Amino acid sequence: MIARDEVMKFVASILMLMLQTAIAGSEETKQIPLDQIWGYRIPKTRDIRELEVKPDLTLPVKERGRRSAVLSIVKELQRRRKDEERPGDAFVVIGPGKSALESALAVLTNAKKRVTVFSPEDQLYIVWFSHSCGRYVWLRNVERTSNEYKFSYQFVAHSAAEVSPHFAIVPIGRLEEGKYHVEMHQIPSIWFENGKQTTPIRNPERVVSNSFSFEVKKD
């Protein structure tokens, strides 16, 4: 007969294997597809301008811009800044889509403070952005592993005589209670015209929104 100690060791090993499998499963990396992300001039994302009604072309250009949250955000991101002024952290807003867009505008224009604590009932979106830059700044990948989100972005050099801001509103849904971290990661820069690598931006925090943390808990 098999000794009781051996049986207990066998059961313990099975339980440990199940626990390790559960932990590994909970830390599985999941991507948020770009086509589910609302973006401004970012390839493969949904055009964020679709969240707004089509502009009245009979109105003066200035008035159309004032009525558009998208154009108001673009104007803010294009604003000339002092050398020491930084974009600041990315941040979280509550949706759905159009409400998230309007909240993003309020935060970026300092009409509303960044919120870092949310309820499990809130429909959440992460707002990522870049100030005007001589290179395109494109969001390439967003993924979640456990309680951490990783945003991979890329500077794309080009020969066009333009500077452009970019921003995205990323749906992350309702989350369980806990502390979450959002990490920004620059991937190698390329040329728009031929896809070849070029020199990286040494201080991306001067252009792109920074990493940050937030919390979800019940009231």
4-26 in b/e form (b: 16+ CB < 10 A) is eeeeeeeeeeeeeeeeeeeeeee
Q: How far is CA 68 from CA 36, 52, 61, 71, in A?
A: 22, 7, 11, 5
User: Which residue type occupies 159?
Assistant: S
How many degrees, rounded to 5, is the angle at CA 47 between CA 43 and CA 80? 80
pTM score, whole prediction: 0.85
Do residues 88 and 210 touch, judged by C-beta distance below 8 A? yes
Reported as half-sphere exposure (CB side, CA atoms, 13 A), residue 96 has a value of 3
Q: What is the pLDDT along the chain (219 residues), one digit of tens a residue?
A: 456 666 565 555 665 555 454 444 457 999 999 999 999 999 999 999 999 988 777 788 778 778 899 999 999 999 877 766 788 999 999 999 899 999 999 999 999 999 999 999 999 999 999 999 999 999 999 999 999 999 999 999 999 988 999 999 999 999 999 999 999 999 999 999 999 999 999 999 999 999 999 999 998
Q: Which helix (H) or strand (E) holds 189?
A: strand 178-191
Token couple for 208: 């792109």
